[in-house]
């Protein structure tokens, strides 16, 4: 009986410390290019990890809402999602709204988020924020004791979702362009 209890304890400890069971905590993510974010989020979805949004998640970071399954995502009272239209640099090096990039962004969001954006006039160059009760009505609020305690800094089992903005986005048949949400 002692051996069985010890074995069960070892299995529980291993499961609790397994990287595949840890949560990714988004505490302050300014976003970046769509392509690298989609690749990172696809890998995160395939890892089975949960995601805790615990601070600003802006621009391309917001695609987490459509890529990570809702049952593996929660938000804290500090979560603040910032949405805007995608942009790219034109031939003169100026930022211009990218209809293709914006369409790609919108296609990544679940319907309740698309509806929320539409009620506010759609995506534009200006940030619009989803926070508080509106956000909590769409996504589960994290419970104390979930894989990452609210307010703790990232450690070896907790990482921030952040990426360099160095690659291109391409969605299906869209031409390869740099898109910045």
Report DSSP letters for 14-77, one per residue.
HHHH-GGGSEEEES-B----HHHHHHHHHHHHHHT-EEEE-SEEEGGGGGHHHHS-GGGEEE-T
Sheet holding 56-58, edge to edge: 56-58, 80-83, 128-131
What's the confidence (pLDDT) of residue 98?
94
Task: Look at residue 171 and tell me whether its pLDDT is greater than 70.
Answer: no
Tokens standing for residue 37 = 């974010």
What's the confidence (pLDDT) of residue 174?
31
Task: Look at residue 130 and tell me whether its pLDDT is greater than 50.
Answer: yes
User: Measured between alpha carbons, how far is residue 10 from residues 7, 16, 48, 127 in Å?
Assistant: 5, 10, 22, 48
Mean pLDDT of 135-157: 65
Average pLDDT for the chain: 77
Which residue, 34, 119, 44, 29, is CA-closest to 82? 29
pLDDT tens digits, 45-71: 999 999 999 999 999 999 999 999 999
Lowest-confidence segment of 94-98, 122-126, 174-178 by average pLDDT: 174-178
d(CA 6, CA 67): 39
Q: Using pLDDT thresholds of 50, 70 and 90, give the confidence band for residue 144.
A: confident
pLDDT tens digits, 67-104: 999 999 999 999 999 999 999 999 999 999 999 999 99
Count of other CB atoms within 10 angstroms of residue 161: 19
Task: Tell which wins on pLDDT, 162 or 59.
Answer: 59
Task: Tell which wins on pLDDT, 167 or 152.
Answer: 152
Backbone angles phi and psi of 17, in degrees to 5: -100, 0
This prediction has a pTM of 0.71
User: Measured between alpha carbons, how far is residue 5 from residues 2, 17, 69, 180 in Å?
Assistant: 5, 18, 34, 53
What's the confidence (pLDDT) of residue 147?
52
At residue 10, the 3 state secondary structure works out as helix
Task: Look at residue 160 and tell me whether its pLDDT is greater than 60.
Answer: no
């Amino acid at each position: 009986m002692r051996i069985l209890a010890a074995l069960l304890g070892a299995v529980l400890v291993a499961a609790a410390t397994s990287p595949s069971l840890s949560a990714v905590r988004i505490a302050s993510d300014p976003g970046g290019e769509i392509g690298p974010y989609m690749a990172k989020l696809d890998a995160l979805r395939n890892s089975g990890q949960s995601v805790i949004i615990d601070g600003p998640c802006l621009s391309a970071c917001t695609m987490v809402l459509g890529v990570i399954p809702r049952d593996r995502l929660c938000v804290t009272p500090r979560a603040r999602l910032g949405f805007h239209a995608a942009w790219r640099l034109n031939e003169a090096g100026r930022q211009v709204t990218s209809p293709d990039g914006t369409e790609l962004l919108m296609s990544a969001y679940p319907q309740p988020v698309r509806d929320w954006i539409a009620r506010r006039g759609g995506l534009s160059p200006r940030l619009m924020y989803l926070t508080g009760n509106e956000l909590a009505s769409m996504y589960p609020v994290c419970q104390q004791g979930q894989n990452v305690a609210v307010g703790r800094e990232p450690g070896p089992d907790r990482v921030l979702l952040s990426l360099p903005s160095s690659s291109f986005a391409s969605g299906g048949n869209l031409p390869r362009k740099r898109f910045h949400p």
